[in-house]
Amino acid sequence: MKAYRIRSGDGLTGLQRTEEKTLASLAPHQVRVAIHAVSLNYRDLLISSGNYLTGNQEPVIPVSDGAGEIIEIGAGVTRFRVGDRVTPTFFKNWLDGQPTPINTAATWGAGSDGVLAEQVIANEESLVHIPDHLDYAQAATLPCAAVTAWNALFVEGRLQPGQTVLLQGTGGVSIQALQLAHAAGAKVIITSSSDTKLERARKLGADATINYRTTPEWHEEARKLTGGRGVDLVLEIGGRDTLKRSLGALRMGGAVSVIGGLSGWASDLEYFQLIAAAGRLTGIIVGSRKMFEDLNRLVSQARIHPVVDRTFDFGQAREAYEYLQSGNHFGKVVVRVK
């Protein structure tokens, strides 16, 4: 079967197309999935540049997020049948409850093979059904980005209907969060340096937009947009320069879900600011299979179509990575496998 491999630190030029043998036989609880589409995350760039939590010493098949069809099942499989449309879960063993070093140890594409390949073998517990109204490209955007958004918004973020969430930028997680929060009755404020992207965000349901280039004190603008009260939740994706402003935008007792760090992976935290806000910062590490299933229920109920910004052919995987790296995307970048 065709696939790609990459070693951590080799950079995007290290992404090499390969031909792989398919595994001959399945263990009792395994299934074989024919991948139709995969979706890239900022994590995939970090892995290629060698800056991710987990490194790959040897070349591995990259990418965590994919969607496909089950083409074979092991003798003991009860959760799926051949022909089912499925997405792998980001963590292979975190089913429900709290994350632990054990249930979060195994992921796709970091430390072990991922989904940028014609076929993958998965344990039946590590897959969820695709909502009926989604195609494979849309479904491929869910495992990391949308589950992260779900956890950040509704689990750790405890966002309630009618509350206000502030989203930083228009990348994958932010746009998924925009669609989810909007469907859940929340008020959404989103920032970008591009008025064109902000216009697109409005069409997806954003209630208010802030161009952080023309309004660098965006936290003050966010406060104004909530009548001075402050926002209930911020999804912190920016990095070095943003945490102070995120806390500045917060209502007393509000929360910041810490997801990314596009502009750097550390920030100064002023204790007095956190204490005066009675604020809560939580590190978001994607989510459990249970969260994915809960997410899918909302995606189905609200008939959300995740935003696929651009789709690349299998042979153009490196171009897809480069497009993501350019930062010009709005929503998700997808690679067609089949």
Which position among 59, 205, 239, 248 is part of the footprint of its own copies (CB under 8 A)? 239
User: Which of positions 300-319 make contact with its own copies (CB under 8 A)?
Assistant: 300-302
Q: Assess 270 for contact with its own copies (CB under 8 A).
A: yes
Question: Are 309 and 329 contacting, i.e. CB atoms less than 8 angstroms apart?
Answer: yes
Burial class (CB in 10 A: 0-12, 13-18, 19+), 133: exposed
Give the three-class secondary structure for 262: coil
User: Considering only 55-63, 111-119, 192-200, 276-284, which stretch makes contact with its own copies by CB under 8 A?
Assistant: 276-284
Burial class (CB in 10 A: 0-12, 13-18, 19+), 65: buried
Task: Lay out the site mask for its own copies across 279-298 (x = CB under 8 A, - = otherwise).
Answer: xxxxxxx--x-x---xxxxx
| Location of structure tokens 């502030």 | 166
Beta strand 187-192 with 164-168 is parallel
User: Which of positions 110-149 make contact with its own copies (CB under 8 A)?
Assistant: none
In 3D space, the residue among 65, 69, 85 whose CA is nearest the CA of residue 142 turns out to be 65
As measured in angstroms, the least distance from the Cβ of 79 to its own copies is 9
Cα–Cα distance for residue pair 324/40, rounded to 1 Å: 8
As measured in angstroms, the least distance from the Cβ of 99 to its own copies is 5
Q: Assess 231 for contact with its own copies (CB under 8 A).
A: no
Which position among 58, 101, 203, 214 is part of the footprint of its own copies (CB under 8 A)? 101
Question: Are 153 and 175 contacting, i.e. CB atoms less than 8 angstroms apart?
Answer: no
The nearer residue to its own copies, 215 or 263, going by C-beta atoms, is 263
Total residues in contact with its own copies, by rule CB under 8 A: 62
* DSSP annotation string for 44-88: HHHHHHT-SSS--SS-B---SEEEEEEEEE-TT--S--TT-EEEE
Cα–Cα distance for residue pair 59/161, rounded to 1 Å: 45
User: Considering only 84-92, 97-105, 110-118, 305-313, which stretch makes contact with its own copies by CB under 8 A?
Assistant: 97-105
Q: Assess 75 for contact with its own copies (CB under 8 A).
A: no
Which position among 18, 55, 133, 162 is part of the footprint of its own copies (CB under 8 A)? 162
As measured in angstroms, the least distance from the Cβ of 304 to its own copies is 9
As measured in angstroms, the least distance from the Cβ of 43 to its own copies is 11
Q: Assess 253 for contact with its own copies (CB under 8 A).
A: yes
The nearer residue to its own copies, 71 or 265, going by C-beta atoms, is 265
Q: Assess 320 for contact with its own copies (CB under 8 A).
A: no
As measured in angstroms, the least distance from the Cβ of 242 to its own copies is 11
User: Which of positions 7-46 make contact with its own copies (CB under 8 A)?
Assistant: none
Which position among 243, 317, 320, 337 is part of the footprint of its own copies (CB under 8 A)? 243
Question: Are 274 and 247 contacting, i.e. CB atoms less than 8 angstroms apart?
Answer: yes
Which position among 59, 99, 205, 248 is part of the footprint of its own copies (CB under 8 A)? 99
User: What residues are paired with 6 via a beta bridge?
Assistant: 60
Q: Assess 100 for contact with its own copies (CB under 8 A).
A: yes
232-267 per-residue burial string, b: 16 or more CB within 10 A, e: under 16: bbbbbbbbeebbebbbbbbbeebbbbbbbbbeeeeb
Cα–Cα distance for residue pair 209/215, rounded to 1 Å: 11
The nearer residue to its own copies, 45 or 298, going by C-beta atoms, is 298
Site of interaction with its own copies (CB under 8 A): 53, 95-101, 104, 154, 156, 160-163, 180, 183-187, 207, 239, 243, 252-253, 258-261, 265-285, 288, 290, 294-302
